[in-house]
Amino acid sequence: MNRIFSGVQPTGNLHLGNYLGAIRNWVTLQEDFECIFCIVDLHAITLPQNPEELHAHTREVTAAYIAAGIDPEKCIIFNQSTVPEHSELAWMLACITPLGWLNRMTQFKEKAGKHRENAGLGLYAYPVLMAADILLYRATHVPVGDDQKQHLELSRDIAGAFNRQYGIDYFPLPEPQILGAATRVMSLRDGASKMSKSDGSDYSRLNLTDDDDAIALKIRKARTDADPLPGTSAGLEGRDEAANLVGIYAALSETSVEEVCRQFAGKMFSQFKNELSDLAVERMGPIARKIRELTAETGHVDGILRNGAERAGVIAKRHLGEIRDIVGLLRT
C-alpha cells in the first residue's frame, strides 16, 4: 500500500517556496494516496522559539494546509508532539545511526553556523527525528522541496540499516517526490539563496499570508537583470533572478519553464512582472484570505488537529508495538 508522509515546521513566515515545493503538490497527491500531513513542532524547537508564537504558528500552518486545499476528512493532519511515538522511535533509530552519516548533513552545518560546539543535540539529531516521522507510518512516498533531498536519503539509509540489523523487511525505503517547476524557489532579493522563513528581509519572500498589495509590491521590487526574457530556457543560464521569476510563473500557471519562455520571448521584465503579479495575486490571494478566516476561529483548527492526532496515534501505536517486538523491548 502507498502512503505519503510530509510536514512543515511551524516557525512562522510560511512562504511561496513551502507552497510550490511541498503543500501544493500534496493537494494533487491526496487524490491517489493515503496521506498524513504533519506540523512538525518538535523540529521547530531545535532552534529557540517563543512559546506563544509557536502556538500561533502551529495553527497557522494547519490553516495553510486547509486553505491550500488539503481535505482534513481525506487526510490526517496533526501536530507531531501530540503523537509521542515520534520521539520514541527517534531514540531507537538514533541508536543505529552512525555519527558519520549525521556529520555529512549540510543543513546542520548551515544552521549551526560558526558556533558548532554550542549547537543543540536536537539540531544535530534533527534528521533522525525526520526519519522517525516517516518510518513510524511506514510511508512509501515523501513529497518535499529540493532542499530536503539529503535528509530523505538519510531516512532511506536508516530504514535499510534497521532492516539489516534485525534481519527483517519492516520499513519500506521511502521515495522522495520532488515535483513541479519550482522545487527550489529562490529569494526575490538574491537569486543565489533559497527563499526562506528566516531571511531578515520580508521582501525576499512572498508569504502565504501576504495581502494582494504586498504580493504586487514585492514582485515589483524583485531583483532582475536588464535583458529581456529569452525564447528558450537555455537563455536563463547564469541569470539566477530571471530564472527564479520564470520558474515561479511556470509553477503558478502549471506549465513548464520552456513554455513560459516561448510565451514571453523578447518581452522586458517590467512587463513580465505585471503578468506575474496578477497571476500570483489570483493564485495566492484566496489562500491568504482563507488562512486569515481559519486562524480567526481557533476552535475549528484545533478540532482538526485533535481528530488528526487520534487517527495518526492509532497507526503509530500499532507500528511502534511491532517495532518494540522487533527490537526486543518487552511489552507488559
Residues with catalytic function: 111, 194, 197
Question: Cα–Cα distance between 323 and 317 in angstroms, integer?
Answer: 10
Helix (H) or strand (E) holding 309: helix 298-327
Using the minimum distance from each CB to ligand TYM, give the nearer residue, 195 or 301: 195
Q: Which residues contact 67 (CB under 8 A, 6 or more apart)?
A: 208, 286, 287, 288, 290, 291, 294
From candidates 59, 156, 189, 194, binder to ligand TYM by CB under 6 A: 194
Residues contacting ligand TYM: total by CB under 6 A: 25
As measured in angstroms, the least distance from the Cβ of 63 to ligand TYM is 15
Site for ligand TYM in 146-175 (CB under 6 A): 147-148, 151
From candidates 4, 63, 70, 130, binder to ligand TYM by CB under 6 A: 130
Task: Indicate the length of the chain as a whole number.
Answer: 332
Is 134 a residue that touches ligand TYM (CB under 6 A)?
yes
As measured in angstroms, the least distance from the Cβ of 257 to ligand TYM is 15
Closest by CA to 273, choosing from 237, 239, 249, is 249
As measured in angstroms, the least distance from the Cβ of 174 to ligand TYM is 8
Asked whether the CA dihedral 313, 318, 324, 330 is positive or negative, the reply is positive
Grid cell, residue 30, equals: 491526496
Question: Cα–Cα distance between 295 and 299 in angstroms, integer?
Answer: 9
Site for ligand TYM in 20-49 (CB under 6 A): 21-22, 40, 43
Using the minimum distance from each CB to ligand TYM, give the nearer residue, 135 or 288: 135
Is 83 a residue that touches ligand TYM (CB under 6 A)?
no
Question: Cα–Cα distance between 238 and 235 in angstroms, integer?
Answer: 8
How far, CA to CA in Å, does 71 sit from each of 64, 141, 172?
11, 19, 26
As measured in angstroms, the least distance from the Cβ of 58 to ligand TYM is 12
Q: Which residues pair with 142 in a beta bridge?
A: 176
From candidates 89, 93, 142, 216, binder to ligand TYM by CB under 6 A: 142
- Which parts of this chain interact with ligand TYM (CB under 6 A)? 5-9, 17-18, 21-22, 40, 43, 130, 133-134, 142, 144-145, 147-148, 151, 183-185, 194-195
